[in-house]
Copies of this chain bind each other. A is one copy, B any other.
Amino acid sequence: MSEKLEPPLIIVNFKTYAEATGKRAVELAKKAEKVNRETRVHVGVAPQLADLSAVADAVGIPVFAQHVDPIKPGGYTGHVLAESVKEAGAIGTLINHSERQLKLSDIDQVIRIIRENSMFSVVCANNPSISAAVAALKPDIIAIEPPELIGTGIPVSKAQPEVVTGTIRLVREVNKKVTILCGAGISHGEDVAAALKLGTQGVLVASGIVKAKDPYMIMREFAEATKDHK
């Protein structure tokens, strides 16, 4: 894992929220960079594709694409080429987010393509058995997001600790090295601390940051919470 992605790790998914589109994507990324600088905790961002190069040009923190297609250069109008997001400045990509799920063989293929491009793969999974399946494909990072908690504001790390620990156990049976993040309902620093205490190495978060009144303050709170854990 590159130095830039050494855990604890916080990845902020901008989704297609109006609050994180265009200029506002760049502004939000700059706040994440400020938190990186001040806390020395790695906060990465995953903006929309059309905002990727502007964000990557503006900040020095890890920038991820939200999706990459299982393709090589060629005739694939409207698809996302790994090489294009890399040249735009992304160091990795989310794969199989619950809002952009892929066929199993496509997940496998995208992980390979991302590896060939010396980028990082962050594969989302929404239950323990799917997490174990993903672990067998050897991505760099797995992000566990129990679907029943997404968008509820109920943090997975506090509401369902046994789901998180159970998932970690299943994943580790298959893959000792993969970095494990968790997500869904993470809104406070204490949710982050709880996630790390359960054995994860960071969080994948979206609305908890993007839709917060003061995203900088929340990211700062998240970053500090990872220190409490150490």
| A positions within 8 Å CB-CB of B | 13, 15-18, 21-23, 46, 48-54, 65-67, 71, 73-81, 83-85, 87-88, 90, 94, 96-105, 107-108, 125-127, 129-130, 132-138, 151, 170, 173-174, 206-207
Q: Quick check: B99 and A77 within 8 Å, CB to CB?
A: yes
**B126 with A73: CB separation less than 8 A:** no
Name the one of B46, B48, B83, B99 contacting A81, with C-beta atoms under 8 angstroms: B48
In the complex, which residues of chain B have a beta carbon less than 8 angstroms from the beta carbon of A104?
A: 96, 101-104, 107, 125, 130, 133-134
A133 to B207, CA, bound (A): 30
Q: Are A16 and B48 touching (Cβ within 8 A)? A: no
B87-A66 in contact (CB<8A)? no
With A49-B49, A50-B53, A74-B15 as known contacts, state yes or no: A130 contacts B137, CB within 8 Å.
Answer: yes
| Residues of chain B contacted by A81 (CB below 8 angstroms) | 16, 21, 48, 50
